[in-house]
Amino acid sequence: MTFIDDTILKGAIDLHVHVGPDYSPRYSDAIRLAREAAAAGMRAIVIKKHLASTVGEAYEASQVVPEVSVFGGIALNAPCGGLSVRSVTACVKAGGKMIWLPTTDAKYAMDLAARGHWIKEYVGGCAFGETVEPLTVLDENGALKPEVCQIMAVCKEYGAILGSGHVGPDECLALAREAHRIGYTKLEITHPNDWEGGFSIELCRELASLGATLTMAYGACSPHNGRQDPHEIADMINAVGAQHMALITDYGQVASPAPADGMRVFYYLLRRLGISDADLHAMIVTNPARLLDLEPLTEEV
């Protein structure tokens, strides 16, 4: 193991780790991810694939490494049924805790890719040489599609997190308004810092005011994901408030370090940029634990 000897990640949770085997090369499988998270003192991880469910792998990894909880889910791209209420219901009934709205097949991400955004390596059927129909959660009038409202209702019923995936700012605002209307408190706005200014501070404040949790991704600072200046993440945290946020690595690529190492570096980097230990603790321990329905730790900052 490469972990330094400290306890900074005690109780930490990473809500977004890519896992192999996958159609794209990945850092490791779920069992290795679980072992490394446990060795770092982490409490839980959520594993993700764009084109397949991770519920079975999460269950198996949790059995092999009981010291850490591993959760799975699905991303609602075409191979998983798209915006399918049936796919969501089956996933959460099997123990899935995270439902991501379209990622690789999201119209917003595909439009950005067409303009040269780094996401072009991941979107649509680029890995397969296929044409993929873009998916959006809005109808032609700008309202949420009925099936999306049903998906959110299923997530509320089963206590699952609904992540925005790679849908756009207007779509996220519509989702947040619906979540607020029905009293759903587990809407996650997935790495809004990843979209090169697409999500303004004003919009993020509005999303937070409606009860959404915004996840800030360290992966956006990586060379293969746009090289975001981490000062921008610190500014977003200060402007919106750590009580509305969680930190994720979005790691799991072969070009990235171990996700647990990435979370540790993210913590120390943000601390150096002025984010307090109390706020960091909220974003890696308290807030993600609430989303996953985990009991609060007895030793809180």
123-137: average pLDDT = 87
Angle, alpha carbons 76-77-78 (nearest 5°): 120
Beta partners for residue 17, in sequence order: 47, 251
136-163: average pLDDT = 98
224-228: average pLDDT = 84
Angle, alpha carbons 32-34-37 (nearest 5°): 110
Neighbours of 278 (CB within 10 A): 12
Residue 3 has pLDDT above 60, yes or no: no
Residue 301 has pLDDT above 50, yes or no: no
* Residues 175-223 pLDDT 10s: 999 999 999 999 999 999 988 889 999 999 999 999 999 999 999 998 8
- CATH superfamily of domain region 13-292: Metal-dependent hydrolases (3.20.20.140)
Domain boundaries, the chain: 13-292
Comparing 226 with 9, the larger pLDDT belongs to 9
pLDDT tier, 298 (very low <50, low <70, confident <90, very high otherwise): confident
218-235: average pLDDT = 92
- Specify the pLDDT at position 125: 79
- Specify the pLDDT at position 299: 59
pLDDT tier, 51 (very low <50, low <70, confident <90, very high otherwise): very high
252-262: average pLDDT = 95
Give the CA distances from residue 154 to residues 8, 31, 137, 201, in Å, rounded to whole numbers and listed in that order: 35, 29, 16, 30
* Residues 69-123 pLDDT 10s: 999 999 999 999 999 999 999 999 999 999 999 999 999 999 998 998 888 888 8
What share of the chain has pLDDT > 70, as a percent? 97
What share of the chain has pLDDT > 90, as a percent? 85
Does this model's pTM top 0.85? My answer is yes
Give the CA distances from residue 273 to residues 14, 70, 139, 144, 268, in Å, rounded to whole numbers and listed in that order: 21, 30, 41, 38, 9
Contact 23, 77 (CB under 8 A): no
Residue 2 has pLDDT above 70, yes or no: no
252, 256, 260, 266: CA torsion to nearest 10: -120
- Specify the pLDDT at position 118: 82
Position 112, amino acid: L
